[in-house]
Amino acid sequence: MKNTNTWITLITLSLLVFSGCSWFGDGDDEPEEIKPNPLPKIRTETSLKVIWNKKIGKGVDDKALRIEPKIIRKRVFVGTPDGNIRALGSESGREIWAVNVKDFFSEGGLASGFPKNLDVITGGIEADSELVLLCSGSGHLVALNQSDGSFAWKTQISSESLAPPKIDGDLVVVQTVDGKVSGYESIDGSLRWEYAAKTPALSLRGTATPSIFEDIVIAGFSNGRVAFITRDEGLAALEQSVGVSQGISDLERLVDVDGAMAIENNGLFISGYQGRVLAIDLRGGKMLWEQEASSIAGLGVGFGNVYLVSADSQVIAYNASNGREVWRVDSLLNRGLNSPLVLGSYLMISDYEGYLHLLAQSDGRFVGRKKIDSRGVGARLIEKEGRIYAMGNGGSLFALEIR
C-alpha cells in the first residue's frame, strides 16, 4: 500500500485512546499492529462511472492535508499542495484557467514564506461568484478573481489554516490552528474581527471550517467546545461543550472538534473526538439530544438521519429527531474513512486505499464500490447536480456519476 502513513497515524491515535493503553508503554510489550479491515464482500446494486479525471498537480502524499474542491455554477475550482490552482468546466473537465499561488509572492516573499518542503496550499478551496479563496502554508489568505484567476489580494493570517475559508457576502471567515477565528473584508482582505479560544497542550492536526447561520458564525475548537460568534462584530454569543477532557495524559484529554458540522432544518449537528454528537436548535439555542461518539471526519444529514463516521471508521446512523441509533456498519473498521456524502438515497464514503463506498441510507447495506486512487481519497467528497467530485491524494480530480 502506498502513502498510508497519515491514515495509519490517525487510526493508531484513536485506538490508543480507546484501549486506554500507555503512549510509551512499559518497554516490555510490543505495540499491537493495527490492521485495517479487508474489503467486505458486497452485492453490487448500482455502479459508479468515472466521467472524466484531470491531473491538477502534486498530491498530498503522506501529509494530513485535505484540499477539497469547490463548485460554483458550472465551474470546479481545485488546488494541490504545490500551489497549483485550476478552474475546470464541471461537465467536461476542460481547463478554463490555471495559476500557481507562488506567482503572487515576490522573490523575497517566496524565500521567507515558503522554505523548502513547505506546502503552498494547506486547506481546501472556497469560492463565490467573484472570488476564489485559499490559505497558504506561509500563513496568508489569498484571493483570486474567479473569472480569470488573476490576483485580487492577500493578507497575513494569525497562523496556519488546514480548512477552507468561508465566504459570506462581504465577509471571509478563517479558522487557524492557533485557536482563532477571524473575519476579513472580502473586498480587500482587511481584518474586521478576531475571536480566540483557549487551546490545549496537544491537539489533532486539523481544524473545522466554520459555518454561518444567518448572523452567527459557528466554529468548533480543539478544546472540545463550539462557539457561536456574531457575524459582524466577532463577539461570543454562546459556547457549548462537545467533548470534556478526561484522563491524566494530554493524549487521553484530546477532545478536538475537527470534522465538518451539518445544518439542517434549523438544527446544528456536530461531533468531536472522544466526545459526543450533539443536535442543537439554532433558533432557541437548546440542545435537542446527545450521544457518546468520537469522530474526526464530520457528519452528513439525510433521509431523516444523521450520519457519523467514528474515529475507528464505523458508520453510524442516528435518528435526526431524537438521536436514537438506526443502524451501524463496522465492516470498514480502521480504513480511515472520510466525511460521509449524502447523495439521493445513498451515502458515499472514501477510504485510505482510494475506494469509494456506496451505502443505502435506509439500512446501511453496501450497494456499490469503486477504486479511483491507490494513494487514497482524503479530501471531502463534493456533489453538484448528481455528479460526485473526488480529489485523490495523488493529485487528480475525478468526476463520477451513479449509473
Angle at 183 between CA 181 and CA 187, to 5 degrees: 150
Question: Is the Cβ–Cβ distance between 270 and 282 less than 8 Å?
Answer: no
Q: Which residues contact 136 (CB under 8 A, 6 or more apart)?
A: 83, 101, 113, 114, 120, 121, 122, 142
> CA-to-CA distance for 17 and 252, rounded, in angstroms?
6
Total-model pTM: 0.85
Instruction: Please tell me the predicted confidence (pLDDT) of residue 163.
Output: 87
Question: Is the Cβ–Cβ distance between 280 and 288 less than 8 Å?
Answer: yes
Question: Is the Cβ–Cβ distance between 111 and 73 less than 8 Å?
Answer: no
Question: Is the Cβ–Cβ distance between 4 and 352 less than 8 Å?
Answer: yes
DSSP bridge partners of 218 = 211, 228
Q: Which domains does the chain have, with CATH numbers?
A: 67-196 (2.40.128.630)
Angle at 221 between CA 270 and CA 389, to 5 degrees: 60
Instruction: Please tell me the predicted confidence (pLDDT) of residue 99.
Output: 96
Query: Could you tell me what percentage of the chain is helix, strand and coil, using 3-state DSSP and rounding each to the nearest 5?
Result: 5, 40, 50
Angle at 14 between CA 10 and CA 18, to 5 degrees: 170
Burial of 200 (0-12, 13-18, 19+ CB in 10 A): middle
284 to each of 50, 89, 302, 321, how far by Cα in Å?
44, 42, 22, 16
User: Which triple of cell numbers denotes residue 159?
Assistant: 497562523
> CA-to-CA distance for 392 and 69, rounded, in angstroms?
11
Tens-level pLDDT at each residue, the chain (403 residues) = 444 444 444 444 444 343 334 333 445 556 677 799 999 999 999 999 999 999 999 998 777 788 999 999 999 999 999 999 999 999 999 999 999 999 998 766 655 666 666 778 988 999 999 999 999 988 999 999 999 999 999 999 998 898 899 999 999 999 998 889 999 999 999 999 999 986 644 334 456 788 999 999 998 877 667 889 999 999 988 777 664 444 433 323 333 345 568 899 999 898 865 567 888 898 887 889 988 888 878 789 999 999 999 989 999 999 999 999 999 999 999 999 999 999 999 999 999 999 999 999 999 999 999 999 999 999 999 999 999 999 999 999 999 999 9
